[in-house]
Amino acid sequence: MRRLPVFLLRKETEWMARPTKRRAISAVSTLLVAVTAALATTSGGAPVGAQVPAGSERAPVPLENFQSKEDRLFQVGYRLATANAAYCRSPVRVTGLLIHDAYSYGNPEAVRLLFGLAGDIGVQSVAPGSPAARAGLAQNDTILAIDGTPVATGWQKAEERWKRVFAIRDAIDASAENGALELTWSRAGGAPETARLEPVNACPTRFELIDSKNSAAADGERVLVGENFPGFDYDETAFAAAIAHEMAHNIFRHPQTFEVTGWKRSLVRLSERDADRLMPWLLQNAGYDPRAAVRFMQTWGPRHGGWIFRKRTHDGWDERVEFIEAEITRIEQVVDPNGMADWRTHFTSELETHLANVT
């Protein structure tokens, strides 16, 4: 996988997007203790599963917290990406399903036990209203077969444990791209179910939660959010604003552009301004209040003014608020009766304008 520099929302130091799916390996011993304790409180013969027994005081273990954050990120990302598909160049077909692979963690058996999986490939998230949701899939179902090919035999475990889940995700995406995807799954040891999913269009971005990190970033193809990203504490709309900013970098292919032009500070500054300015458009189309982009900036600006908001690659936070407010005014002028704001027609990229003028 090509490694691209990423856009940072939080840290001043750059880190590279990790092509590996390194999960909370260190949490596994804690996890085993917690799972054992949880199971000890169930009555004998109770089905092994992720469900916390009624009355149990057990606190969520790290992997459950990780799952709930990745679920939140995926749901918000799906909503933004599908709602804006009509205006994105080269939309892709998606089903609203995010899977993970117990084998990619340090202790697959503990992960299967924790989430009640009947195999390695579990459902990490299902976006509300998505084709996967309409087919009846839910979090912690076990994916058994894709287009009739059993996952247990169709995809070999690789020495690099993170690889298999990416291969399966690619297979699901390829099937979706071809127009239809057939999945077989089971829930909590129940009988297998099979359904065909009818994919929908989305802007081409994946969303991934990264363990240990506290930043949000975009690498051209993925929005990468650290599990300790402070935005998880914001309300959903402000969180969506942060995700929209990162998504905008991918929509405009900023990392790919800077691979060619070099990461010149003046250009990066324009790209940041474009990402800020597109935020309210993306929010508007997804049914979020576009003014959340302003609230997000006002929350981040005073609190984090010392770093990204004063960096020479970014405008000051108060200027950023003004740029966003100008876009909200523009949205109000062009929004159609369905509440859709066509940013492909009505949004002017300052970076693209600048690059067109100098070349």
Which residues form the interface with Zn ion (CB under 5 A)? Answer: 7, 272, 275
Residue number with CB closer to Zn ion (35 or 210): 210
User: How far is residue 85 from each of residues 93, 237, 344, measured CA to CA in Å?
Assistant: 10, 19, 11
> Strand 193-197 to strand 200-202: parallel, antiparallel, or no bridges (unpaired)?
unpaired
- Pairing of β 222-226 and β 206-210: parallel
Cβ proximity to Zn ion: between 311 and 346 the closer is: 311
Residue whose Cβ sits closest to Zn ion: 7
DSSP letter (8 states) at residue 137: -
Give least dist CB 240 to Zn ion, A.
15
* Residue number with CB closer to Zn ion (144 or 297): 297
Shortest reach from residue 354's CB to Zn ion, in Å: 17
Smallest distance from the beta carbon of 216 to Zn ion, in angstroms?
8
> For tokens 């004998």, what's the residue?
44
Which two structure tokens, joined as six digits, stand for 241? 């604003």
Kindly state the smallest distance separating residue 241's Cβ from Zn ion, in Å.
12
CB contact at 8 A, 38 and 116: no
Q: How far apart are CA 271 and CA 251, in angstroms?
A: 11
**Cβ-based nearer residue to Zn ion, 227 or 272:** 272
CA 229, CA 10: separation in Å to the nearest integer? 8
Closest to Zn ion by CB, 216 vs 286, is 216
Write down the least CB distance from residue 218 to Zn ion, Å.
7
List Cβ<8 Å contacts ≥24 apart for 14-23. 15/213, 15/215, 15/217, 17/217, 17/219, 17/222, 17/224, 18/210, 20/160, 20/162, 21/104, 21/162, 21/165, 21/166, 21/208, 22/162, 22/211, 23/63, 23/66, 23/104, 23/105, 23/106, 23/162, 23/211
Give me the least distance between CB of 275 and Zn ion, in Å please: 5
Residue type at position 14: E
For Zn ion, give the closer residue by CB, 88 or 279.
Answer: 279
Nearer to Zn ion, 184 or 250 (CB): 250
CB of 232 to Zn ion, least distance (A): 18
